[in-house]
Amino acid sequence: MGFIASRLLIHPHSAVGLADRLEERGLLERIRGGGDRRQVRLRLTAAGTETLTRLSALHRCELDDSGPELVASLQAVLRDSPKEAGNVEA
């Protein structure tokens, strides 16, 4: 869970809660390691894979739609920002 938490930039206890909710919905399953019960592998179920595929497609469409505007906004921020760290006023 620590690895998953670090990848998601959340606390380990939040990752446990997330895994609990996904497991309750049948989207993932926990596979316990041999003798060490602290080791847990997470595996997407078929329903979890289907849901992830559908959400990924939706998010990709959203990025395709809003991506150019986002890039333009980021370019404007970078263009208008001070060139050197010493020029930033606190």
Residue 62: its pLDDT value, please? 92
Report DSSP state, residue 85. G
- Cα torsion 44, 45, 49, 51: sign: negative
State the Cα–Cα distance between residues 40 and 36, nearest whole angstrom: 9
> Could you count the other beta carbons within 10 Å of the beta carbon of residue 73?
11
pTM, whole model, 2 decimals? 0.68
Counting residues of the chain whose pLDDT is more than 70, the rounded percentage is 92
Residues 73 and 4: their CA atoms lie apart, in Å, by 31
Using CA atoms, how far apart are residues 59 and 44, in angstroms rounded to an integer? 19
* Average pLDDT of span 77-90: 69
User: Between 16 and 39, whose confidence is greater?
Assistant: 16
Domains and CATH numbers, the chain: 2-81 (1.10.10.10)
pLDDT band at 29 (very low <50, low <70, confident <90, very high): very high
